[in-house]
Amino acid sequence: MSEPSSTPETQIDRGPDGRTLKRVGIGAGAVALIVVGIGVASRISATNELRRTAADAAVPTVSVVLPTVDGEGGKLLLPGNVQAFNSAAIYARTNGYVRRWLADIGDRVHAGQPLAVLDAPELDQQLAAARADYQTALANQRLADITAKRWSAMLAQDAVSRQEADEKAGDLAARTALSNAALANVKRLQALQGFTRLTAPFDGVVTSRSAQIGALVVAGNAAAQPLFTVSDTHRMRVYVRVPQGYSASIRPGMEATMSLPEYPGRAFAARLTRSAGAVDAQSGAVLVELQADNRDGALKPGAFAQVSFRVGAGQGNGVSLPGSTILYGKDGPTVAVVGRDGHVTVKPVAIARDEGATVLLSGGVVPGERVIDTPPDAIRSGDRVRVQTTADAAGKGAAHAG
């Protein structure tokens, strides 16, 4: 009997062989390994990204500015105070009442011209009494002189003793001294009476007047105001405090120019006449005086001016920085400079002049260095920072706008 032939249905019922199953298992394991590897790699990448983000967050972002050099080079601009060539405050030298005043503010006066007249009735009576005392003393002196001469003649005839004659001579000397004292008192009161007329000490302009008709004036009162102030304004004195760092470049005889806020665009010529030759301990500056012609009367006493000096090459105003870049500590003013590697160096600086918004430095930084604007107080040399770029600033601006 013959064996039955195999059919396709029989082969299907057998299923896949062992080799196929092995291959499928290996593939599944490989896929699982790949999935696990991708997961581990993504976790490691996320961890590294987190670390980089944390490291970037730990490094502060700062904005920097570059020091600017004075474009005019060799120009030193300093504030100055304008004063009259001569100025005198006129006080009363005697007590009295203002009878009238003869000059007002803005009037031009000449030397010896009356400014005011005072009434001093008490002084007039004192002078009358002093004159009477002088006449009495003078009469006693004359009587003593006649007596002394008579006793001297009788002494020559031995009619009186020398002791009596010497007494009469001594009495004459005493009467003469009293007469001189009375005369001196009369002259003193006459001089005081002359002070009831207040006069201008020199040619000038009346710049203040406090005299009022009928007002009582008391001589020697420390709290009293001057009745008048007379200023000689044909030339003006300008006082400037020059920082010590530039004092060697400022010499008597050098020319300077002035500008005043009430005359924009106009420059006034001035010449440096003298220097104090000493550094003031409080301001650290040397006081110098300039003089300027004022025939047109444009300059006024007490005015503020900007004085420009031309100093030696390389002196100038150094470099300037915003005032917000300066750190003030126990070691003096400093700035924080960022190097190419992003590390900070704290440098001491020398301030030549503080103008508020900007500070002029005479040393400490050079053009081209990156100086941190508004640095934190805790910043130290060696700290690492990230410099804010233009793109960062634009991004922050857009975020704030959103």
Q: Which residues pair with 62 in a beta bridge?
A: 387
What letter represents residue 253's amino acid?
G
Site of tokens 């301990």:
281
Least confident of 16-20, 229-233, 346-350: 16-20
Mean pLDDT of 375-381: 87
Q: How high is the pLDDT of residue 313?
A: 43
pLDDT digits (tens, 9 = 90+) for 236-258: 999 999 988 788 888 899 999 99
pLDDT digits (tens, 9 = 90+) for 90-114: 998 888 899 999 999 999 999 999 9
Query: How would residue 203 be classed by pLDDT, with cut points 50, 70 and 90?
Result: very high
346/349 Cα distance (integer angstroms): 10
Mean pLDDT (the chain, rounded): 83
Quick one: tokens of 33?
Answer: 């390994």
Query: How would residue 212 be classed by pLDDT, with cut points 50, 70 and 90?
Result: very high
**Mind listing the domains of the chain with CATH numbers?**
61-71+318-401 (2.40.420.20), 76-84+232-310 (2.40.30.170), 121-194 (1.10.287.470)
Q: How high is the pLDDT of residue 62?
A: 86
In the sheet with 216-217, reading across from the earlier edge strand, the strands are 197-199, 114-119, 96-101, 216-217
302: left (phi over 0), alpha (psi -120 to 50) or beta: left
Distances from the Cα of 362 to the Cα of 163, 287, 325, angstroms? 89, 19, 15
Q: To which H or E segment does residue 140 belong?
A: helix 121-156
Angle at 63 between CA 60 and CA 64, to 5 degrees: 125
Of the two residues 197 and 249, the one the predictor is more confident about is: 197
pLDDT digits (tens, 9 = 90+) for 43-63: 777 666 666 655 555 678 888
Question: Could you give the percent of the chain with pLDDT greater than 70?
Answer: 85
